[in-house]
Structure 1
Amino acid sequence: MKRILIFCACQILLLSASAALAAGPLTVDIHGPGQRMVNIVLLPPKGLEGSQVPEAPAKAFEELVANNLGYIPFLKLVPVSSMLGGDPSRGVERADIDFKPMQLARVDLCMTTGWKGDSIEARVFETFSGRRIVGKLYRDVGSLTLAQAADRFCSAFLEALTGKKGFFDSPLAFVRQEGKKKEIFTVLPQGRDLKRITRLGGFNLSPSWSTDGTRIAFTHIGKKRHELGIYDSKSGKITMISKGLGQTVISPVFGPDDLITVALNRGGVTNIYELNKQYKPERRLARSQYIDVSPSFDRTGSKMVFTSGRAGNPHVYLMDVKSGQVRRVTMTGKYNTHPCLSPDGRYVAYTHRTSNGHRIYLHDLETGREKQLTFGPGNDEYPAFGPDGYFVAFASNRSGEYKIYLSTRHGDTPRRISTGKGQAFAPAWDTSLQW
């Protein structure tokens, strides 16, 4: 009998310890690999203050949220039907929720949605502590803004959970094949709001966003020469610049002070130049007798990575913009191109040619460690960091033709982004969304 009592006491202590650990605040470290899976259930919507739940908008909002959260590799959506007794809530506040069935089902988080006319109240709670992680109110939500409300809520939720805002309302610019032409388009990562930017004919390549997200720079290759194109989203107008730039304009980007940085062929050598506000070459940033192209900056504009042939083959280099000091980043292989610097300046994603095709690799500038992010099949190219430096978009022909895919800097399973008919490549992310 005494042994039984001791055993029971030990079991109670173990259960108490487990409950205490489970009740701790739930956080997710997106910096390190191997994140734990977090289970979340979307509870059925409720009417507020006697209001009826609008069936169609409520269903659409839930589907939009579920689709957004499906992009997060460490989140797993759990159906309400798996809860013992069904829906464990009678309202949207903590006091209206019975967390025990969700605890038994090992669900970490639950989301509630309340409706009153065109207003939505959305909240996420921890199931073991009852702590509210995030809560938002969206007024006057109509069919045109329902997706925006879902995007903003998911971004706020992800920021509360990980400390970083989501990508849900940050569009991608990309190049799409239109017959024999290549034009610039934009789209949200969820595949919504596809918009055509150029109708110029010829080849329109290498789109890049300004730091405030209002302009897109690109290269236009016409019948006679290259031109620098600048699209202004506020006016919808495109300005074409060629005077003083020479015959070759390659991979323009917005650099420090939102000035254009671009590779130009001047005097028979292709180097990287910073243009002034009148789009005239002001200074040469990467000075060498070899080809230097594909500049990419961190958010502060103090670091620039680029591709150069100064080692005999294309490799990635890092330059301190203030001092002009340059050091080589990639040391292996004979073909490393299309570098993209993360907004925080720590990571470089780039295209590395292997014996099995092109793959996306990641270099940590702090530790010097490298790892392969994508594994084909086909070719994976043109990596682009999202505004949080966590998600990475890239182009791949693994499906037979080039399309845009979304992964993370940990190499999670890529997810294809809907870009319409035609091959799509060279994604560039609007990173104006601040951390």
Structure 2
Amino acid sequence: MTPDSGETHLANVRQITFGGENAEAYFSHDDQWLTFQSTRDGRACDQQYVVRVDGTQLARVSNGEGKTTCGWFLPGDRRLFFASTHAAGAACPAKPDPSKGYVWGIDPYDIYTANRDGSDLKRLTNYGVYTAEGVLSPDGTRIVFTSLKDGDLDIYTMSVDGSDVRRLTTTPGYDGGPWWSPDGTKIVYRAWHYAPEDSAGLRQYRELLGQRMIRPNRMELFVMNADGSDQRQITRLGGANFGPSWTPDGRRIVFSSNHQNPRSRNFDLFAVNLDGTGLEQITRNPEFDGFPMFSHDGKRLVWASNRGADRAGDTNLFIAEWRP
């Protein structure tokens, strides 16, 4: 598959999945496998899968109950962790009331670990509220994640065995999507905070949160040190900016955004410096592009996209060689 016009950083674009909703694909440490979430096999909500980067040897990791999200390979690539709602019920969580407009459901995820074939499933957290979006630190010792466990959507870290939980963010409003820098010293994340004078906005946010929903139409990118210090805003683009990760050299952030038309569902991938300068557009397809991750060797980029879909709404995984 050839890249869209203007996608000069992407070469030899290849589609990995075909049909359904497939998203949040993240590389194993040896760059030979991906873990991702999918509604394949006629399922009404996501389960967690692994697949080789060439699209072969697809296998389900999660137990087929509830809904899953945000998988990641543990050191050695033999086990993974991911978030699942199955402890709250075998059925898919109820979808948000359409009368609320465009909202995301804050489902009761907790984080689990399992072998790559799905065996030996173990529960890592036990909060019974939204606890997901986990990413492993580069040294393999800690997990950063987002949780509602203290009443707001905040960012935490914990040891890989679930111990030593530390809260990093406390500002009222949404903080999520955390991702370690390649050297493990910083964390990038998405957030929307409310100024003291915007008491009505904060009240509406909390009312939705009480109904286990958020309205994700406004998000900007922030960065902080790995211990939560020096929190600072990177982007001021408007619209929804989310799914941040890092270039392999740790100097830039790659993310998805609809800031060019905030009322649109056309998201593209962009890159930006840590001080907010040097904004560069990576994808130019008139459909959704999101959840970017570089391979550990820095040679490839994987992401999810609606491009080339056989049916409206299909989201598939794509991989490309990266041209700096």
Structures share fold, TM-score greater than 0.5: yes
1:385 counterpart (294, 300, 304): 294
Counterpart of 1:266?
Answer: 149
CA shift in 2, pair 1:170/1:290, >3 Å? same
Alpha-carbon separation, structure 2, partners of 1:210 and 1:227: 17
Alpha-carbon separation, structure 2, partners of 1:311 and 1:386: 35
Unaligned runs of 5+ in 1: 1-32, 36-70, 75-166, 412-435
Counterpart of 1:290?
Answer: 173
CA shift in 2, pair 1:390/1:329, >3 Å? farther
Is 1:403 aligned to 2:324, yes or no? no
2:48 counterpart (184, 190, 214): 184
TM superposition shift of 1:374: 1.2
CA shift in 2, pair 1:235/1:176, >3 Å? closer
Write out per-residue CA displacement over residues 10-31 of structure 1, whole angstroms, 9 at most, x where no aligned residue.
xxxxxxxxxxxxxxxxxxxxxx
1:350 counterpart (248, 255, 260): 255
TM-score by length of 1: 0.52
Contact residue 153 and residue 175 of structure 2 kept, 8 A: yes
Alpha-carbon separation, structure 1, partners of 2:255 and 2:125: 29
**Paired residue total:** 251
What does 1:230-379 correspond to in 2, within 5 Å?
230-233=113-116, 236-243=119-126, 245-255=127-137, 257-280=140-163, 282-310=165-193, 313-322=218-227, 324-353=229-258, 354-355=260-261, 356=264, 357-365=266-274, 368-379=277-288
Counterpart of 2:109?
Answer: 226
Equivalent AA in structure 2 for residue 404 of structure 1: L
Unaligned runs of 5+ in 2: 1-6, 14-28, 90-107, 196-217
| Aligned-CA RMSD value | 3.0
Contact residue 169 and residue 228 of structure 2 kept, 8 A: no
Higher RCO structure (Cα 8 Å, ≥6 apart): 2
Equivalent AA in structure 1 for residue 317 of structure 2: I
Alpha-carbon separation, structure 1, partners of 2:276 and 2:116: 39
Write out per-residue CA displacement over residues 120-147 of structure 1, whole angstroms, 9 at most, x where no aligned residue.
xxxxxxxxxxxxxxxxxxxxxxxxxxxx
Contact residue 250 and residue 293 of structure 1 kept, 8 A: no
TM superposition shift of 1:302: 0.9
CA shift in 2, pair 1:235/1:199, >3 Å? closer
CA shift in 2, pair 1:390/1:330, >3 Å? farther
TM superposition shift of 1:336: 0.3
Contact residue 210 and residue 258 of structure 1 kept, 8 A: no
In terms of fraction of residues, the more helix-rich structure is 1
TM superposition shift of 1:236: 3.8
Alpha-carbon separation, structure 1, partners of 2:276 and 2:125: 41
Write out per-residue CA displacement over residues 319-353 of structure 1, whole angstroms, 9 at most, x where no aligned residue.
12257112212221221011112343222111101
CA shift in 2, pair 1:377/1:323, >3 Å? closer
* Stretch of structure 1 that moved more, 305-314 or 228-237: 228-237
Alpha-carbon separation, structure 2, partners of 1:308 and 1:208: 22
Aligned sequence identity (%): 19
CA shift in 2, pair 1:311/1:170, >3 Å? farther
